[in-house]
Chain A
């Protein structure tokens, strides 16, 4: 019970090409980046991959690049780096803010943005940022790169559009320089996963995205549309939970989650400068 994973092989990849080669040649392999989602599952023996391919040393997947209209964030960039990046704070301030709210300092120093996104956990913080800002996922496979819109990326519970022989290599965030933003995270304890979270990106293409309001990370579509058409905060907030099928657990039933989604949406909108 807990703590001790089943036996596995361990390989290190020095480049994306090498990682892809290893992925193709090993059955039932998993990529290891920060390990903060995968390793706990292995310790509980909920996941028992035959091989771990450690990609954390691949330099080309680290760091933030200003690429004109977008910021390109390498998939292995650690949360702490994103949180403290001046260029992220300037151009995608919602991302810098939310990166600073992931887990605790130990988690943020270890966990990576790509690892968090490919895990596809509906309770994680960063998918909501990708959805609210309209980010694009850059995925590399043996056939080269393909680009997937955030809204098409999260497929099912803990499942994304990344194929079994592909690697998420970067995330491109459209610049939102000077635009307002808000993020509200309701937790029972500090440092926990959100019971419900709401991300709001203001600006020309505003977006609202929800944390832990269904089996996948998702945009609040009706509310986002209302916001784009100029509706007031109360009207937008009232639509926050539209079309969601929130999970039920000891901390919150579905009704309470819907209610929280509205309350938090209003607060996030106010923080983003809407009235």
Chain B
């Protein structure tokens, strides 16, 4: 008995205060993982109560033990002890929102059928009283035959009473009579319990009503939605930039300093360009991830996210997605990594997967340097409509192409690869609530640490492998070359250079030569890397964008004397970057979020095919007009 710690399962419907209670019991000592074989997140923590260390398992939110999603199926399997390495809990803590007790009692009835010792935690009792409701907790405990504790999690009310109870679930009161079975019997039981304990039903939340009159107003609500989303996007984009620049500069300085320590040679190059910039490639995402999740969880916990999803659901529904996907796709404009992570808020696994698979099509900020270089070099800087420049229009066109492609891809994926059982769209609009800061902080920390651990290792590894490919085998450049030209010579003869030459026949139909091929290989690390790689190949100084621009404008094929970068090639390359998933961080994140290698492989594959096809078409069409 003393050897294995007591295991307690935390069960409750969404918005019932389950996560707040979990945090109140365990502090920030949660371990986050996955259940074997599914993408459902597994959260466990330790609650220290006196001398007892209790394992608390935060089970996914569910309305019922008749599962309709993988998340909910996990709840039932855990309660039955059907998952390997996850023994059935010794006791269950069921959280129930006192304001929606009727619905929670259905879940309670189903849980009592399992025979596991259970105690009920009534949350939001302060809100119940504020809304004029009256509920007799002692009678509820009598009627159910199990302990009932009222807890207002963020104020700590009732926590001590609950903690006194938890260490010994075997001693909890059990129902004297067998719990109801079957739907009709349960329904009658719920009604009779409610009649005995709820002397006054709560009215509407006046505060929420008042806020909703604005937030859900046909005109005002749409305006609020637009403003919130623009601010949201702006904050992720603009606020994260200084921090990202700072990290970028810090990584650069660190790489420089490491050269001071290791001197010249491969070791120094490997540490500076392979390891440190690889770590940098991971850490650079942290500002966006922290900001995005802070905003996301505040909006979610306050209750606005459900309203936003409600307002925009119709639009997303037309391509087979749902309202909650909007936020994930919008976040992907800054970067697909936080965008894909934001898809966690989507309960339907299919909707979530479609959202993840199309998120890389949104124009992320890493594409901007590539677009800037090519548009700067090949689109004339003339004004077409008053002050509106052709270059700006070209950029806008690329953004729009990404959006349209994402929506079409979503519609197609929904009808083909991911066809099958849909779960109904339903969304609860919870009353507006102020989330405890601790809760937001722990959610944000959970998301950030998961990214660092899971995606970070893959990004670092890939970065080191790419460095090796771009560096080896070493060849001695002819002695008369300038340092820049010598670097270009070595790059051409590296493994990546060989790959560039090897794939030249494959990419020639797109108008690309081997140099662009090397750039494409290198851009697997991150899209903007193609710019620095091209700079290296053209032996241009990376800082001097003008000279790289001139270099690619002046480059000709040695055998024919034709220019390498025609307008058709430039357009084709731009279109390639709109579609292709040239980003290992995104792939690593998809791997982490879907808990499989299959889906990142699929995403990479389908986007590569799209990119190839669209580039081919662009090259032909633009070439025909030129």
Partners in one complex: no
B residues lining the A interface (CB < 8 Å): none
